[in-house]
Structures are given as structure tokens and as C-alpha cells.
Structure 1
Amino acid sequence: MQYNYRKYVDLLKYDDLLRKENKFLKDENKLKYLELKNYSLQINEHLHWSQKDEYAQLIEEFLSFKINGKTFERKFCNMVEAIEKKSLLLTKNYEILKNIKPSSISFEFAKWISEIYLCCDEFYPDFDEKDPPDFPFAKNEEDFRNAVADIFPQIQKYLNEE
């Protein structure tokens, strides 16, 4: 679906109106709800993609052992959460939203950021492999670094795109 600022704003306003009436767009009109979610996803993807160089720099610092897993996890999660917060704020500020022009180049970039974000959630810096884990997905620093290294080539594909 091609991004349409006007249509997105109309859907945001309609969703807001329904919420004020204690109704939900998802219940009232599934097609419009899905359309709204699609536009929101496009904005979100674009915001993450616009920070691609910062993500890459942070990942490279981690993979080259310039920073440890705890530092990487904190910085990476802070970046993701700041972008998610900005994305949410944009749904209320139509003037700033007007200046954002998502491109198909950015599509699916956030998927790889989400993958690393999940790895951050699975990282336990004090995890000792000698202890039987209660959670088989638990990652120590080496596992964490390897998981990020496996995902990084997918992110690198986006670095020279404008």
C-alpha cells in the first residue's frame, strides 16, 4: 500500500474520535483498522531506517568488542524506545507527520531491528552455561554477540540506500 499522508491523518482522527466514545476502530471497521496499522508501520519503519547509520555504528562497536553486552543492550534498547516514542507522538502532531515521506526502501528494515531487540531481551549478562537454564533461549554475552552478528548483514543491505 502506497503511503498517503491525508488518508493516514483521516484514519488517525477517526480512531481518536471512536476512542473518545469508548469504541475501537478494530471493532468498528477491521479494514480501516488494518489500513491505519499499515500506515503506522510505514512511519515506524521509516523512523528506524532514518537512524540506520547510528544503529550500524552501535552494532559495529559491539561486534568489534569496543563495548560490552550490557552497554550495547542499554544503548540499543534506548534507541529503539526513543524511536517508538517518537512514532507514537507523531500520531498526534500532524504538522510534523506531514514532513515524513516513507519510502519503500525502508520497508522491512525495522524487522531486523526488532530481531536484535528480541536478542537484547534474551541477554543475561550473568548467565553461566554450567547452570542449567530455566529458559532455553537465554543468551550469554558470546551467544548475544553471535546472534547480533548473524543479523547484521541484513541491516548492512540498507546502509547505502537513500
Structure 2
Amino acid sequence: MARKVADCRRFPSESGCTLTLVGEEAEVLRAAVEHAVSVHQHDDTPQLREQIRGLLEDEHATGPDGMNFVQLIEFKTGKREQLGDLLDEWEEATGGKRTATRTVLTQEHEKPGIYYEFVEFPSYEEAMRNSRLPETDALSRKMRDLCEEGPTFHDLDVVRAEAL
């Protein structure tokens, strides 16, 4: 039987909740109902249980940490400190909304000023949802202003990922 996922990030809330539950359907449903009651102040009713059951999704096979899709962004800038400040600003502004699960910023060893950012997502669809956030759009515009050339984006499906 496929494991199920309940992800609060898919449903905007005043609290900006980011909880994700994964497991067998009965245990995810039980935990999601308890969470909805204790955190989101819903009443535990048969209707709530059916609504939550209808929102559960099948867990997809993933790499480590739920990584199925990576966006590689390649760019050139001499403004590393400003870039760091901009990325920190985006992280704070998108807390509870972003679908990116991890990011790694690298600089080419032999060519300072050439950067590659790896941004991991659970899926391509989640990456596109993240791209549509107003905060991501603002980041993109500001980042282009810092770059000597426009960034190059590479959309990559994860074929194999292992923790070593």
C-alpha cells in the first residue's frame, strides 16, 4: 500500500505552518486531525476527517530528503555580499510558503565570481509553484541587477541520489 502525505504548505494558513506528515494512511490521518485541532483550531468532526482524507496524496519515490527535482542556476557577479543578503532576505520573506527544500550556493574554484546555485524541490510542479511566489519574482529581478550577465537556469529531474 502506498504511503500517504499531508503537507500544510499546500494550504495557506495564518500561522504559515510548514508541517509535513508521511506514513500509512491511518496514521497520517490520525496525526493530521490532531494537528488540525491543536494547531489550526478546527473541531474534530467526521466532516474534518473526510476533508483531510481527501487531501492526502500518495508519497512519491524520492531521493534523500524528498528530492526529486533540482534547479541549477548559473550566474556571474562580483557582488557576493549583496547576493548573500538578498538570499537571506528571500528566505525570511518566503518562510512557510516556499517549496524549495534545500539550496547550495557554490563558486567556481578556478573562476571567482562564477556561481552555481542548486535548489532542491520535491517535484517539478513544486518548483514551478515556488517560482510563482511574488517573493521569488522579486528575488529574480534583484538578482539580475547584481549579475554581470543574465542567469542561466537548468531544470533537472533527479535520476539517482544517494547519501554517501
**TM-score normalized by structure 2?**
0.28
**Structure in which a larger fraction of residues adopt helix:** 1
**TM-score normalized by structure 1?**
0.28
